[in-house]
Amino acid sequence: MSQVFSEETHRNMLARIPHCTGREITDWLRTVEDGPALFRFEEKVSWLRHEHNLAYGHAKAIIHEYDLRRAARKLL
């Protein structure tokens, strides 16, 4: 079962990702967009972890942010 992070924890995690990975969040979001068409959250996290050697927390934060931004686009 996956952990649920607070909004503050999520934002803090996103802020650390560029330092830890050497890539900006926008680059990671583009990577997810261009990646395989996976449907389940955990499948996307697993793909990022194994394909790009990311820590679970970083991969989860990236996918969560991707899903938030994607949902926001659908509302506009």
Q: Across residues 32-51, what is the average pLDDT?
A: 96
Task: Output 6 or 24, whichever has higher pLDDT.
Answer: 24
Euclidean distance between CA atoms 61 and 64, whole angstroms: 5
Percent of residues, the chain, with pLDDT higher than 70: 91
DSSP letter for 16, please. Answer: H
- The identity of residue 42, as a single letter, is E
Q: Give the chain's domain count.
A: 1
Q: For the residues 59-73, what does the mean pLDDT come to?
A: 93
* Range(s) of the domain holding residue 29: 1-73
Q: What is the pLDDT of residue 73?
A: 84
Whether pLDDT at 72 is above 80? yes
Q: pTM for this one?
A: 0.88
- Flag whether pLDDT at 76 surpasses 80: no
DSSP summary character for residue 53: T
Identify residue 10 by its one-letter amino acid code: H
